[in-house]
Amino acid sequence: MIIRISIALLLALAPVTAFANQCPTMMAAIDAALPNASLSEADMAKVKQLRQQGEQLHQSGDHAGSEAALGQAKKMLGI
């Protein structure tokens, strides 16, 4: 019985863990692309704001919000 509960809990949490690990990968991709980005000052400021917002959301546990903000930054960077 305990094994079944443990397996069910592991399976329930696995997608959350996988999703949470995607945020740091996205942040790293943005960080790598920033130095070579050819964006206007306004767009660069927006990308940096979205990157910071994504990190804050990730740290607070809102991984869906984090991925949305980081995804928008990646789109602006063309990555």
The type of residue at 13 is L
CB distance 62 to 24 below 8 Å: no
Q: What is the pTM of this model?
A: 0.74
**Span 64-79, mean pLDDT?**
97
The type of residue at 41 is E
What's the per-residue H, E or C state across the chain?
CHHHHHHHHHHHHHHHHHHHHHHHHHHHHHHHHHHHCCCCHHHHHHHHHHHHHHHHHHHHCCHHHHHHHHHHHHHHHCC
Residue 34: pLDDT above 70? yes
Which of 3-7, 22-26, 59-63, 66-70 shows the lowest mean pLDDT across its residues?
3-7
Indicate the pLDDT class of residue 14, thresholds 50, 70 and 90: low
* pLDDT score recorded for residue 21: 72
